[in-house]
Chains A and B, each alone.
Chain A
């Protein structure tokens, strides 16, 4: 896999990233906006995600019912998603049809319809989406853990938003959000696939460079103060199964400690996309029958966020027993140096996952834009090298620094039986 790409900033401030891949007649095109749930004040939570939904309601030129049919007719795949830090839209199309996607994205950067009627119908769709999440014990638990971990920083709320706000956000709120953040100087276009860079760049300029630059979007600057002691909480709900979530504080993705923590994460919980039955936590909790499953999860974010360990408790054990087993394993990694071989293994796992991911052109375009949201593409291209430079001492140091009880939140989902 080559990592050679072309990066250009247009006159209106929009960044363009192009990577030629000639393995299949496919192009994947992604537009990223630097706006997500962290840009939402109390009372407007969920507005970034709802705006993402409204972006599928069409423009004058591409009315809603024409839009999705036009993409599907060409055999394209398209979707969008919203995260804490960004909102992204992608189309993966047969290479000779990609122009449609580019014209559509250029048009909906500034001309989307926000009709009152569509806002009303989408309100109930999003409320239904949230109700679907609320059916899941894990969503209920995760939401409360997150609410508790962040009192000040807007990572406080779930991306879908609080139900109260989903009932009160107005059409004008949504339109204002759209016009504020969907400006070319807040956007990145990342494309990978079967094109010729020079002519593609020319076409991108024709379509996007005329979109006027907007004011620099405002940001909420509310850093989370240091946590001064462990917080334990519980949530009750239907079911028979107890779930535990332990959230530690992690630095943002450009922090020097991020890479040693990635190695530590892979030792504790395994590597995303692979099985994790020889990870330290699986051996300590599942093999020893304190839990029937355990996983670790971190996210590359702009501001400091969380590392979450999620445990599905063994039906014959108390949650305290699983937490004690977890603590013992974390103490092991804090007290005893891991071996060089363990780190080499972690790097080989990451190398394999990169190879699988490179089979897919959509993924390759994703990584360009994704890393640009919190760092740069170099973060991606140097990832394996940076992992390889991590030493056993680094791992021990970050284990001691970040895995402290006083800065964690432990949430337990307590089932109240199958019948009400």
Chain B
């Protein structure tokens, strides 16, 4: 190694000394942290109004509602809301998942009051104008038609359905054509009335503003929000484990490439196995050029442009998935290679060197993931959502280093069973 020619500045990891956290009287948790390197701010957060409240008949309702929040409020039209935002180069949007509706935005620092006002109005007083709802419905239906032709989306949906069966995690949160067609304005108003409220809401602000000032701004627009009838989310039902390997191929004529997803249940984000599984997954399908999977499927066999594995860990049970895009005639061969790697992985786990490499990668890349306001805001949302503790990123290095080869192997054996896989493919 050549001599060191830099004297690095000290990394600034968010922690209890610089994250300001306040719970407003109505239950909203506000977290703020300053960074004056750029004259901008990032905002993000969530509230528990996700697809878990939906029936099968109205699948996609939470998504439809969250997409409609900025389509008109009691005080502003759709065009007026976006005109205010876009005129100052700010952006804001909503998204939905099984548990939460999430939101995010960016603005120059002088435009924080405007953005928070629009956030507050969108959350508290959307009016779901029927012409806008119908325009949006046509857009959502076109999105579903495009989804139906996307080999990776189709394979991923089939995978979730087989892995989770009737569980809420097995359903697509953007719904189906017939469910989107059946949703009425009244459904949307009622969903909003019952499930949108301050309890369980989290908002994070990062950027060129003093944290106390950021909290004041949130208090000003959202501190008075009260929803006495806000309904609590139902508990997640248990999911039925897969008894033996299941396969499904969805035929999409006219396509030149097939997508595959192979996997199983993985740990949730709060499970103690999360970090060992994550580091193990790094060796399996992430580290360097997509780990062992990338090495075997892409580098050695030249079968795919992309082939990697990922851990999808959230509130409930997660999934552990290997995915790749391959020429249709190589589908079987690629699946065989991946199954082989999974068997090897649970037989002998990871080597000392492989684990050390991934640990070094996790620790070394942390400052990179925290350099932008958006990166810090995501990290703070993780802290709050998964109760990791305000000092999580300061303890992170120690947590990563504490994982042993035995931890990884034990976790891999707990979750991966090559005779009980879910294999979903889509293509010609």
Q: Is the CB of A125 within 8 A of B304?
A: yes
Q: Is A103 an interface residue (CB 8 A)?
A: yes
**Which residues of the other chain, A, contact B83 by a CB distance below 8 angstroms?**
278
What does the 1/0 interface line of B338-379 toward A look like (CB < 8 Å)?
A: 000000000000000000010011111111101111100000
**Which residues of the other chain, A, contact B107 by a CB distance below 8 angstroms?**
352
Q: Which of B151, B254, B367 contacts A94 (CB 8 A)?
A: B367
**With contacts A69-B287, A131-B256 known, is A240 near B145, CB below 8 A?**
yes
The interface on chain B, measured as residues whose beta carbon lies within 8 A of the other chain's beta carbons, has a size of: 78
Q: Closest B-chain residue to A353, C-beta based?
A: B89
Q: Is the CB of B256 within 8 A of A135?
A: yes
**Which residues of the other chain, A, contact B254 by a CB distance below 8 angstroms?**
237-238, 416, 420
The B149-184 residues at the A interface (CB cut-off 8 A) are: 149-151
Q: Is the CB of A418 within 8 A of B302?
A: no
Q: Is B327 an interface residue (CB 8 A)?
A: yes
The A337-396 residues at the B interface (CB cut-off 8 A) are: 345, 348-353, 355-356, 358-361
Q: Which of A95, A124, A203, A279 contacts B303 (CB 8 A)?
A: A124
Query: Cα distance A15–B2 when bound, in Å?
Result: 23
**Which residues of the other chain, A, contact B90 by a CB distance below 8 angstroms?**
274, 352
B-side binding surface: helix, strand, loop or mixed?
A: mixed
Q: Which of A74, A132, A351 contacts B364 (CB 8 A)?
A: A74
Q: Is A209 an interface residue (CB 8 A)?
A: no
Query: Cα distance A57–B362 when bound, in Å?
Result: 24
Q: Is A248 an interface residue (CB 8 A)?
A: no
Q: Is the CB of A25 within 8 A of B10?
A: yes
Say how far A416's CB is from chain B's closest CB, in angstroms.
8
Q: Is the CB of A289 within 8 A of B138?
A: yes
Say how far A38's CB is from chain B's closest CB, in angstroms.
23
What total count of A-B pairs have CB within 8 Å?
A: 234
Q: Is the CB of B149 within 8 A of A277?
A: no
Q: Is the CB of A72 within 8 A of B373?
A: no
Q: Is the CB of B142 within 8 A of A271?
A: no
Q: Is A22 an interface residue (CB 8 A)?
A: yes
Q: Is the CB of B288 within 8 A of A277?
A: no
**With contacts A99-B5, A131-B256 known, is A312 near B142, CB below 8 A?**
yes
**Which residues of the other chain, A, contact B1 by a CB distance below 8 angstroms?**
99-100
Q: Is the CB of B253 within 8 A of A420?
A: yes
Q: Is the CB of A132 within 8 A of B6?
A: no
**Which residues of the other chain, A, contact B357 by a CB distance below 8 angstroms?**
69, 72-73
In the complex, besides A278-B82, A359-B372, 10 extra interface pairs with C-beta distance below 8 angstroms are A75-B364, A92-B368, A97-B364, A103-B2, A132-B325, A238-B149, A278-B86, A345-B87, A349-B88, A352-B107
17 residue pairs from A and B, CB less than 8 Å apart: A24-B371, A99-B1, A99-B2, A124-B302, A131-B325, A132-B257, A270-B86, A274-B90, A293-B139, A293-B142, A345-B86, A345-B87, A352-B90, A355-B39, A359-B40, A359-B372, A360-B372
Closest 4 CB pairs of A and B: A75-B364, A352-B89, A420-B253, A121-B302
| Residues of B bordering A, CB below 8 Å | 1-2, 4-12, 37-40, 78-79, 82-83, 85-91, 93, 106-108, 135, 138-139, 141-142, 145-146, 148-151, 252-257, 287-289, 295, 298-306, 325-327, 357, 360-368, 370-374
